[in-house]
């Protein structure tokens, strides 16, 4: 695998951008660039990666990131052509092409937001490798989060209200990506989004719910402590109690002591 020299890589990508409005030619040239930087020494079993049916080049992160930034600028300047290219890349069987499609979606100025929302909703409902889903949830809604957060929140509500555990899980991961974005300040909306899930005590989603609450505790420890107390008082469950205990280290000392006392009382009642 050749070293990803940034100057050389940018020259190669500059050549690639000539075909921004010609998706078929773009894809052929993209494949050549990815193949050049592919890791030919990779052997299955070295790491947990994509699904076996999804071919991958195993290129360095620098390559994908630089591609996203350079092609993303063109998507920002020409959204209609960007969407055409993104749709073509999404249909490409290679992992890196779909990751690029998902990340480029976050560069589309979604005015109106429907074209981006429709793709996010349709694509998340298809079976994809976890690497693609991760990019789709973190990078795909990037423009929406910054400019149309209410539209993205509405889509997350749809997923969280779904009877499908997989969609609920993606909804929680979408909320986590929101809270991790330090430019997102509407934390009360995040609490409201995850509240129905936490009250329903779905065992399959404990890990995702815990990740959201831990991130909220780091962003807003006082508000999270208050929320946990209210939740434990009104809808206690062993799963919720475990999540609360794992959030304690992120909370102020006084809040930790208060919640520990509440948890001890509830544990005693349950044992009694």
pLDDT tens, residue by residue, 208-223? 999 999 999 999 999 9
Q: Measured between alpha carbons, how far is 203 from 257 in angstroms, rounded to an integer?
A: 27
Distances (CA, A) of 98 to 111, 178, 247: 23, 22, 35
Residues 27/97, Cβ–Cβ less than 8 Å: yes
Residues 86/104, Cβ–Cβ less than 8 Å: yes
DSSP state of 41: T
Last residue of a domain, one of 121, 147, 173: 147
Asked if residue 152 is part of any domain, the answer here is: no
243: left (phi over 0), alpha (psi -120 to 50) or beta: alpha
Instruction: Examine the pLDDT at 113 and tell me if it is beyond 70.
Output: yes
Q: Is 86 helix (H, G, I), strand (E, B) or coil?
A: helix
Domain assignment of residue 105, given as a range: 1-42+51-147
Distances (CA, A) of 222 to 162, 208, 211, 251: 30, 21, 17, 7
Asked if residue 78 is part of any domain, the answer here is: yes
Asked if residue 235 is part of any domain, the answer here is: yes
pLDDT tens-digit readout, 180-237: 998 899 999 999 999 999 988 777 888 999 999 999 999 999 999 999 999 999 988 8
270 and 226 belong to one structural domain: yes
Residues 92/98, Cβ–Cβ less than 8 Å: yes
142 and 189 belong to one structural domain: no
136 and 69 belong to one structural domain: yes
Asked if residue 75 is part of any domain, the answer here is: yes
Q: Measured between alpha carbons, how far is 28 from 68 in angstroms, rounded to an integer?
A: 17
Least confident of 27-41, 43-57, 177-191, 228-242: 43-57
Q: Measured between alpha carbons, how far is 223 from 252 in angstroms, rounded to an integer?
A: 11
15 and 119 belong to one structural domain: yes
Last residue of a domain, one of 147, 170, 193: 147
186 and 138 belong to one structural domain: no
Asked if residue 121 is part of any domain, the answer here is: yes
17 and 107 belong to one structural domain: yes
Domain count within the chain:
2
C-beta neighbour count of 89 within 10 angstroms: 24
138 and 207 belong to one structural domain: no
143 and 242 belong to one structural domain: no
Asked if residue 168 is part of any domain, the answer here is: no
Instruction: Looking at 148-184, list the stretches that DSSP marks H as alpha helix, in order from N- to C-terminal side.
Output: 149-160, 165-180
Residues 104/82, Cβ–Cβ less than 8 Å: yes
Using alpha carbons, select from 88, 127, 79 the residue that is nearest to residue 106. 79
Q: Measured between alpha carbons, how far is 86 from 108 in angstroms, rounded to an integer?
A: 10
Asked if residue 165 is part of any domain, the answer here is: no
Q: How many residues does the chain have?
A: 272
Instruction: Examine the pLDDT at 271 and tell me if it is beyond 90.
Output: no
Asked if residue 164 is part of any domain, the answer here is: no
Instruction: Examine the pLDDT at 123 and tell me if it is beyond 50.
Output: yes
137 and 226 belong to one structural domain: no
112 and 228 belong to one structural domain: no
104 and 197 belong to one structural domain: no
How high is the pLDDT of residue 39?
83
Q: How confident is the model at residue 51 (pLDDT cuts 50, 70, 90)?
A: very low
141 and 239 belong to one structural domain: no
Q: Measured between alpha carbons, how far is 133 from 99 in angstroms, rounded to an integer?
A: 8
**Helices then strands (H, E): number in the chain?**
15, 0
Mean per-residue pLDDT, 117-126: 97
Cα end-to-end distance, the chain, whole Å:
63
């Amino acid at each position: 695998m050749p070293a990803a020299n940034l100057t050389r890589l940018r020259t190669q990508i500059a050549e690639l951008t000539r075909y921004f409005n010609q998706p078929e030619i773009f894809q052929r040239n993209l494949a050549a660039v990815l193949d050049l930087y592919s890791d030919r020494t990779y052997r299955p079993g070295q790491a947990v990666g994509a699904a076996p049916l999804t071919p991958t080049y195993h290129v360095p992160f620098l390559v994908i990131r630089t591609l996203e930034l350079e092609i993303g600028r063109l998507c920002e300047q020409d959204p209609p052509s960007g969407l055409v290219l993104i749709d073509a890349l999404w249909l490409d069987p290679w992992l890196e092409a779909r990751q690029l499609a998902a990340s480029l979606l976050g560069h589309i100025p979604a005015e109106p937001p429907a074209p981006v929302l429709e793709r996010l909703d349709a694509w998340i409902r298809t079976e994809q490798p976890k690497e693609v889903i991760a990019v789709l949830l973190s990078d795909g809604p990037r423009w929406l989060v910054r400019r149309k957060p209410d539209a993205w929140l509405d889509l997350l509500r749809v997923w969280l209200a779904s009877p499908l555990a997989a969609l609920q899980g993606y909804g929680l991961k979408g909320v986590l990506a929101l809270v991790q974005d330090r430019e997102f300040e509407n934390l009360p909306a995040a609490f409201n989004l995850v509240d129905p899930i936490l009250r329903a005590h779905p065992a399959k989603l404990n890990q995702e719910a815990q990740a959201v609450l831990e991130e909220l505790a780091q962003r807003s420890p006082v508000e999270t402590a208050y929320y946990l107390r209210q939740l434990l008082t009104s809808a206690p469950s062993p799963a919720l109690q475990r999540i609360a205990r794992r959030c304690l280290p992120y909370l102020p000392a006084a809040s930790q002591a208060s919640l520990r006392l509440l948890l001890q009382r509830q544990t005693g009642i349950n044992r009694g």
